[in-house]
Amino acid sequence: MDLYEAKDRIAVALVESIFRRARYRVRPFQVDPAMLRFVREDFTPDFQATLDGEDGTEREFLVDVTYRPFVEPFIALENQRRDSSVFVLARRHWPALRSILVTDHPDRGRSCFQTVVVDFTAGERRLRTVDLAAAPEDTTLIEKYGVAQPFFSRYVELAAGDPVKNKKDLVTSYEYLSFYHFLKKQDNQAKEYLSKLLELAPDNPTGLEIQKILSGETPTGTPPKKGGGK
């Protein structure tokens, strides 16, 4: 596995974590070979997410995650493909599909997590991205993820004085807070909590994944075949 493929897997793990912490049920996508031929042979959504509504209804959709070091050139290339773009083809067959790009080199003011939007204007489909937290269909996701932030912030204030006794709960709190501020593009706060997390738990998977994204390393090697230029 080269660095590019490793970052693609990290991206999927991070996005899955966002959904799980927002109380979505996450399960792997069940591959239907017959359906895949209508898109591209190397394309599959990564997972299925389901949220139980307060009224008893379920909100369910598929999620595809792609790591790209630079988003804009990638989207420009997909726009050149017009109706042959994997994002256009996939959305035709899976209307509830959400395509999320993860990058460690976002443009200034942009998030590391961006949702691909398919616009239809002047008789032509065009792709663009919006930050995950700003996507109309995903605002509830980010809001639900952030509900516990005041609780965890208050807990670390009270428990940090005895890190040995409170290690387990502090690790959980620092993990949550570092990821929360990372999603909110508050990198200084994210790094602060990340440092505390890795001090207590150097092998924490979530912390190491965030650290790799924030390190800004540009991968080398051949992109893994996973659709959309992956």
Q: Is the per-residue pLDDT at 116 higher than 90?
A: yes
Within the chain, residue ranges assigned H as helices are 3-21, 33-36, 71-80, 86-93, 139-146, 149-159, 167-183, 187-200, 205-215
Phi-psi region of 161 (alpha: psi -120 to 50; beta: other; left: phi over 0): alpha
Tokens for 8?
Answer: 């693609």
Q: Is the per-residue pLDDT at 144 higher than 90?
A: no
**118 — pLDDT class (breaks 50, 70, 90):** confident
Give the pTM: 0.66
Query: Residue ranges of the domains in the chain?
Result: 3-142, 146-215
**1 — pLDDT class (breaks 50, 70, 90):** low
The CATH classification number of 3-142 equals: 3.40.1350
111 vs 133: CA distance, rounded Å: 8
Q: Each residue of 67-106: pLDDT tens digit?
A: 998 999 999 999 998 888 888 888 887 888 899 999 888 8
23 vs 148: CA distance, rounded Å: 12
Residue located via tokens 């792609």: 66
Reduce the DSSP state of residue 174 to 3 states and report it: helix
Question: Among candidates 228, 222, 212, which has minimal Cα distance to 64?
Answer: 228
Question: Among candidates 181, 189, 102, 109, which has minimal Cα distance to 145?
Answer: 181
**Under a CB-based contact definition with an 8 Å cutoff, are residues 209 and 14 in contact?**
yes
Quote the percentage of the chain above a pLDDT of 90.
21
Most confident of 28-32, 47-51, 134-138, 184-188: 47-51
Report the pLDDT averaged over residues 197-218.
Answer: 80
**Kind plus residue range of the DSSP H or E element containing 122:** none
Reduce the DSSP state of residue 115 to 3 states and report it: strand
28 vs 50: CA distance, rounded Å: 12
